[in-house]
A and B are shown apart, each in its own frame.
Chain A
């Protein structure tokens, strides 16, 4: 049966997933798209009339009658994009040297540290975030330690700031950046590195001309895997961020669970979806191009 064209078995294999994802994945996404163009009803419902002001309210063409334009939404969108980008950069800076280090260890230690980096995947996200709540709060471990050492005289306010949100996201996302980077670094052609050094290139040149281009696919892969869940994240800013750390995910949650403006919440979700699909599209086309050249 190695390679067959069409058969009953193929239908039996594919029908369940097609029906399931069609109903419970595609349809919900289409409904979000539809809702984002409906007008909010008085008591949390929707009215079935075409209404583009949900987007106008965010991007600035609201007329002040149907909806009012408030620049805060664009600010929050910008903040979400920049926090996610910052998370990518910071996780990359942290993971790149460590990936190198682990790849140079003896077989036995490499297994130990690979186990340690995959362990967080199995442990609870909410528990790991909660740990930072304990550490960062005004009476938390960090401030208690600094106060008792006499470094500071008043507790630093870190919790409920943008710093806390980015720190939390970096902490949660680090393993996702590490794994693709590690596989790129581990597959590095060491003979080329040696050759570059032997032929007189210095370490910086060797890094820029040999190592970086070879590990670029891993960097890009890690960047996409970290950026996408970061940009729509709502748990990290909810637990660690205050009003100043609010991201677009929190805005969506508010519209659905407290403000009860579902069409506006849907419009905000459409923006998250658009960002994600754009990033995916760029990464896929880039990967294709890189593959074509090689």
Chain B
């Protein structure tokens, strides 16, 4: 850009844009250390009480002096976290297999319904989650299936397979089929070629797709909200319920831990991508 004033204005606007994205997160982090339990927006003094309460470390016998005794739901929260992790690991596995198999089929075979499949696999990603959520809810109730962790897993897989598919498909597009042709010419069966030649080359794409599926599964709120029963809830649904019941200081502490975890995962993703290009 030739105009320095214009560039300065653009820079100011852009930095304000990033401040808009990040300031709210820093608000949460800051106030998770504020000891004021009545109006958490007015700074009292620095404390780790909310974290101690969350982790169940707070001394609950000294009720008045120790404000972290407010936390009555540590057990529920940890159970929700456990459910989230279990669901995410299982759905990531299933959707990675489904998505990868589909991507290979569409990239390496010509068949009549290929275009239809390509479009069809976009639909679960584009369908608003509320529609998918209530569709699954009616479906499960109609066939008499109890809402449980299994229904949450099924719900997540319906749209995560498509995400994995997209990522792996992009990776296949960059792979030269010559190696596979050579393998076939040298007498390897179709199956062996797929396993020994194509899959190893696809590994970074598959890993990327799996990571994306894991992250989205951990964060899904709407579909889980509709297909989870009274028993198992995931962490986002648990926090949603907590927020609906009213703002409490402990939520700041959970939220801060989640922000921290997401920074770690994003950095991991970046590291994986930079390794891929080496």
Residues of A within 8 A of B46 (CB): none
A101 touches B215 (CB 8 A): no
Of the candidate stretches A21-29, A57-65, A285-293, the one touching chain B is A21-29
B154 touches A124 (CB 8 A): no
A144 touches B138 (CB 8 A): no
B240 touches A126 (CB 8 A): yes
B184 touches A1 (CB 8 A): yes
Name which residue of chain A comes closest to B211, CB basis.
A122
Of the candidate stretches A71-79, A112-120, A206-214, the one touching chain B is A112-120
Supply 12 A–B pairs (Cβ within 8 Å), ascending by A: A1-B184, A24-B157, A32-B134, A104-B1, A124-B239, A124-B262, A135-B27, A171-B24, A233-B130, A234-B222, A239-B244, A252-B130
What DSSP secondary structure best describes chain B's contact surface? helix
Q: Which residues of B contact A (CB under 8 A)?
A: 1, 10-11, 13-14, 17-18, 20-22, 24-25, 27-28, 31, 39-42, 97-99, 101-102, 104-105, 108-111, 117, 120-121, 123-124, 126-132, 134-139, 142, 154-155, 157-158, 161, 177-178, 180-181, 183-184, 190-191, 193-194, 215, 218-219, 221-222, 226, 236, 239-240, 243-244, 247, 251-252, 255, 258-259, 262-263, 265-266, 269-270
Chain A 6-33: CB-based contact to B (< 8 A → 1; otherwise 0): 1101101110110011001101110110
User: With A3-B108, A32-B131, A104-B1 as given contacts, are A135 and B24 in contact (CB-CB < 8 Å)?
Assistant: yes
A269 to B265 alpha-carbon distance, docked (Å): 34
For the complex of A and B, the 4 pairs showing the least CB-CB separation, nearest first, are A28-B135, A232-B128, A131-B24, A123-B262
Residues of B within 8 A of A122 (CB): 215, 262-263, 265-266, 269
Q: Which residues of A contact B (CB under 8 A)?
A: 1-7, 9-10, 12-14, 16-17, 20-21, 24-25, 27-29, 31-32, 35, 94-95, 97-98, 100-102, 104, 113, 115-128, 130-135, 137, 139-141, 144, 171, 174, 228-229, 231-235, 238-239, 249, 252-253, 256, 262, 265-266, 269, 272-273, 276, 280
B243 touches A130 (CB 8 A): yes
A24 touches B108 (CB 8 A): no
Known: A17-B161, A119-B266, A252-B131. 6 other contacts (CB 8 A): A20-B98, A35-B138, A97-B14, A125-B236, A134-B252, A269-B134
B236 touches A128 (CB 8 A): no
Residues of A within 8 A of B25 (CB): 123, 127-128, 131
A131 touches B270 (CB 8 A): no
Number of A-B residue pairs with CB-CB distance less than 8 Å in the complex they form: 245
A14 touches B124 (CB 8 A): no
Residues of B within 8 A of A135 (CB): 24, 27
Name which residue of chain A comes closest to B102, CB basis.
A17
B139 touches A28 (CB 8 A): yes
A83: shortest Cβ distance to chain B, in Å?
Answer: 14
Residues of B within 8 A of A174 (CB): 21
A134 touches B28 (CB 8 A): yes
A203: shortest Cβ distance to chain B, in Å?
Answer: 9
A19 to B59 alpha-carbon distance, docked (Å): 53
* Interface residue from B20, B22, B136, B243 paired with A126 (Cβ < 8 Å): B243
A235 touches B222 (CB 8 A): yes
A127: shortest Cβ distance to chain B, in Å?
Answer: 4
Residues of A within 8 A of B177 (CB): 2-3
B102 touches A13 (CB 8 A): yes
A124 touches B104 (CB 8 A): no
A285: shortest Cβ distance to chain B, in Å?
Answer: 13
Residues of A within 8 A of B269 (CB): 122
B149: shortest Cβ distance to chain A, in Å?
Answer: 15
A126 touches B131 (CB 8 A): no
Residues of B within 8 A of A2 (CB): 108, 177-178, 180-181, 184
Residues of A within 8 A of B138 (CB): 28, 31-32, 35, 262, 266
User: With A3-B110, A116-B22, A127-B28 as given contacts, are A249 and B10 in contact (CB-CB < 8 Å)?
Assistant: no
Residues of B within 8 A of A35 (CB): 138
Residues of B within 8 A of A5 (CB): 109-111
A31 touches B139 (CB 8 A): yes
